[in-house]
Amino acid sequence: MKKIVAIGGGTGLANLLAGLKVYTDHISAVVTMTDDGYSSGRLRRDLGILPPGDVRQCLAALASNESLVTKMFQYRFDKGRGISGHSLGNLLLAALEQITGSFQEAVYQASHILAIKGQVLPSTFKEVVLRARLKDGREIMGEYNISREGHRAPIKRIYLKPARIKANPEVIWAIQNAEAVIIGPGSLYTSIIPNLLIREITQIMVKSKAKKIYICNVSTERGETEKYSVEEHIKALIKHSHPKIFDFVLVNETVMHYNDDRGNFGEVANITTDQNRIDRYKIIREDLIDKENPLFHHREKLAQAVMQII
């Protein structure tokens, strides 16, 4: 079985993992630790823990089967003072951290509860905040605020605060031993790039001899990549990391949702390209779209395309 590292966060990464687990048990999901919205943000503020939301989604995606336990882990309360908006999995991870004494051990124990295929690795165990400079000159702090204000003025660059943090050593080991390293899919500025702003991770990826694939999103995203082309996704990614962190770009070739906003921000659309190469990167086009939900990848199509490249 192939040893695969997948880097990102949020729904995009979880969707990929759910498809890949059919092909291999040797999956290491590297997850960003900058989430500060909704349930994760509240738990960060109230308990001082690392954000559990993206970790929870990836744990559920890699679970051996979609049993009642997994559905319970993903369950989100929609009423109740103090508990409304929280997912049970986030609360479980918070409880496990209190019981075991570390977020690392909490993730490890949750992995056993769900009998996951592979492992979920926070990119760092250090407290970190995402900040951005917008094209209108404003500085914005926090992942949630960046997505909201990025709709009003495009994002120019993002940073970590503190700027230099240590990577999770298990992430470095996983990349060193991987046969394939996958970046994305997911929110470009708030799920993918934050992992690559950790210098150790980018440095080890540049040195890696694995097949390195960037999965471009099938659509633009409100507040982050409105009006972006495939080429602009690539440029933003390497601007924040290094040109040699990937060699292939997997792109969806099917367009179902068109952007007809005539210059206004806010609308999203499917994107593709007819180019075979962009700069040094080989472009691979496949039908990857979920026709029932055309702003997202179809997990089985995506996993099959990735495995064909590998």
What is the C-alpha separation between 100 and 170, in angstroms, rounded?
Answer: 19
Quote the pLDDT of residue 259: 63
3-state helix, strand, coil split of the chain in percent (to 5) is: 40, 20, 45
Kindly state the tokens that stand for 309: 């490249």
Q: Please tell me whether the peptide bond between 51 and the residue prior to it is cis, using omega within 30 degrees of 0.
A: no
Q: What are the structure tokens assigned to 143, written together? A: 């992942």
Q: Compute the half-sphere exposure of residue 176: CA atoms within 13 Å on the CB side of its CA.
A: 6
Look up residue 279 and give its DSSP letter: T
- pLDDT score recorded for residue 211: 97
Q: Cβ of 197: how many Cβ atoms within 10 Å?
A: 21
Give me 234's structure tokens.
Answer: 């690539």
Number of Cβ within a 10 Å radius of residue 64: 12
Residue 120 has a pLDDT of 97
Distance (Å, whole) CA 22 – CA 272: 27
Question: What is the C-alpha separation between 287 and 85, in angstroms, rounded?
Answer: 35
Strand segments, DSSP code E, in the chain are 4-8, 27-31, 119-122, 129-134, 139-141, 155-161, 180-183, 211-215, 248-252, 277-278, 281-286
- Which of 69, 9, 27 has its CA nearest to residue 310? 27
Nearest CA to 36 among 24, 48, 26, 25?
48
At residue 60, the pLDDT reads 93
Distance, in Å, from the CA atom of 20 to the CA atom of 16, rounded to the nearest integer, reads: 6
Q: Catalogue all structural domains in the chain, each as residue range(s) with its CATH number.
A: 4-33+168-309 (3.40.50.10680)
pLDDT tens per residue across all 310 residues of the chain: 789 999 998 899 999 999 999 999 999 999 999 988 777 778 888 788 899 989 999 999 999 877 777 888 888 888 778 777 788 889 999 999 999 999 999 999 999 999 999 999 999 999 999 999 999 999 999 988 998 899 889 999 999 999 999 999 999 999 999 999 999 999 999 999 999 999 999 999 999 999 999 999 999 999 999 999 999 999 999 999 999 999 999 999 999 877 655 545 557 899 999 999 999 999 999 999 999 999 999 999 999 999 999 9
DSSP string of 100-137?
A: HSSHHHHHHHHHHHHTBSSEEEES-SS--EEEEEETTS
Predicted local distance difference test score (pLDDT) of residue 24: 94
- Sign of dihedral through CA atoms 94, 95, 101, 106? negative
Residues 302 and 307: their CA atoms lie apart, in Å, by 9
Please tell me the distance from the alpha carbon of residue 188 to that of residue 100, in angstroms, as a whole number. Answer: 33
* Separation between Cα atoms, residue 195 and residue 30, nearest integer Å: 8
194: tokens are: 């934050």
- Report the distance separating Cα 119 and Cα 307, nearest Å: 19
